[in-house]
Structure 1
Amino acid sequence: MNSTNINKLNVYAFSSRKELIKYVSKEKKSLIAINAEKILHANEQTRSLINLNIGYADGVGAVWALKKRGFKQTIKIPGCELWLDIIKEFYQSKTFYLVGAKEEVITATIEKLHKTYAGINILGYRNGYIKTENEQAELIQTIASLKPDIIFVAMGSPKQELLMQEMQQLHPAIYQGLGGSFDVYVGNVERAPAWWVKNNLEWAYRLIKQPSRIKRQIHLVRFAWLLITKQI
């Protein structure tokens, strides 16, 4: 599988979602979304987590970087859509466990998944508010005991990646970090309309809706400049 080094991060260049799903089904690693912000702010800890697993282009900045390095067929694969592609592919043959969000959100997510994917085998779930080391240890032991094939963790970075890595040590499986995807799935958070997503302008739509995001979006401009000037 094609991958390249971007600011000491190993990022995979997938040309389709099916290609990614086929690859991860064989590798049993964690899927980690990569965008411009993660590349710019990479440190020793995040590099280690990403390079041990499968970093894929979730943001337009990562796609730009991969195409600039010769991977012209690279596409952006939004994590908030990818996990549902994975479910659609495997819900009749694999087992699942979900972690993340508030209790009412994760409960609504489970209910909607059961309605949408008849027969889906969800072995368990819990909210993302893990307050103590004991609670975390209990969750990891639960995963190791139940042995689900696919685990989704929606807690934000790098917390979700750190947790997935601990889980991997006791139970190798397919993991994916989802950030706020459960909230999007049940309608608590509005996503950009299809045109904005299709044209890689989701970041601009978010900025219009939330002007306070300007500090984060400046990173994308800085990233583009570093790419153009070959500093990254």
Structure 2
Amino acid sequence: MSPILLNGVAVYPFRSTEELLDHTLQHPGILVAVNAEKILHATDETRAIINSGIGYCDGIGAVMALKRKGYPDVIKIAGCDLWLEIIARTYTSKSIYLVGAKPEVIKETVTKLQHEYPGLQIRGYRDGYIKKEDENALLQDIAAKKPDLVFVAMGSPRQEYLMQRMQQQHPEAIYQGLGGSFDVYTGHVERAPQWWIDHKLEFAYRLLKQPTRIKRQIHLIRFLFLLITNRI
């Protein structure tokens, strides 16, 4: 399968989570959740990371764009679900490393994972409050412990830049950026109810819960205009 360019951003038209998992396990790299905002505000640096990795649709805007490009079966794959599906499929054979969130949240994440996936090999973990002088030690630890999967929950584009540096030290692993997924997993942040998710309205629920997000969501109108006028 080949990716499709949207404003220069390469996005794979995966038709199922299983298809994404099969591709990723065969072609390890950096998994990047792509939405309208990342497509619209792509820079040379973010494009380079996404295009050298595995960009997948984690937003209805990206799905709409690929459908207009002739891929009617493409689906939205939520990153906050995907990382757990990867673990569920591989935990008996692959090791993981976790980076991100507050100290108490990352500890709760590790405890919950160990309970839900007995025998899961967690090679290491640390919170997301990484000072510049701490980063080299983190990179060296990952290079030494060689985990198969590395999950980084720090928000974009910071997590993508960090994963790129991690990959330079340990290129054999699969990397995934998770944003606030550890907080959702441990119950510190409420996710949208299933009805909103099923009807592709999770972004609207978040907007209702956090009206300040309107500054970000307003860009969706511009994205839709560019999409309709075939400029993406």
The one-letter code of the counterpart of 2:138 is: L
Aligned-residue offset at 1:28: 1.1
Q: Deviations over 1:68-88 (max 9, x none)?
A: 101111000000000000000
Is 1:179 paired with 2:179? yes
What is the root-mean-square deviation of aligned Cα atoms in Å? 0.8
Aligned to 2:215: 215
Q: Deviations over 1:190-231 (max 9, x none)?
A: 010001011110011111111111111111122111111112
Q: Distance in 1 between matches of 2:211 and 2:96?
A: 37
Q: Deviations over 1:135-166 (max 9, x none)?
A: 10110010000000000001111111111111
Q: Distance in 2 between matches of 1:101 and 1:209?
A: 21
Q: Distance in 1 between matches of 2:231 and 2:96?
A: 41
* Secondary structure in structure 1 of the residue aligned to 2:218: helix
The one-letter code of the counterpart of 1:2 is: S
Tell me the TM-score normalized by structure 1: 0.98
Alignment of 1:23-172 (within 5 A): 23-132=23-132, 134-172=133-171
Q: Distance in 2 between matches of 1:32 and 1:201?
A: 21
Q: Distance in 2 between matches of 1:39 and 1:202?
A: 19
Aligned length: 231
Aligned-residue offset at 1:2: 3.3
Q: Percent identity?
A: 60
Q: Deviations over 1:112-132 (max 9, x none)?
A: 001111111111100011112
The one-letter code of the counterpart of 1:149 is: D
Aligned-residue offset at 1:179: 0.5
* Secondary structure in structure 2 of the residue aligned to 1:71: coil
Q: Which runs of 4+ in 1 moved over 4 A?
A: none
The one-letter code of the counterpart of 1:112 is: K
Q: Deviations over 1:2-23 (max 9, x none)?
A: 3211001111110000110111
Runs of at least 5 residues in structure 1 that lack an aligned partner in the other structure: none
* Secondary structure in structure 1 of the residue aligned to 2:108: helix
Tell me the TM-score normalized by structure 2: 0.98
Runs of at least 5 residues in structure 2 that lack an aligned partner in the other structure: none
* Secondary structure in structure 1 of the residue aligned to 2:134: helix
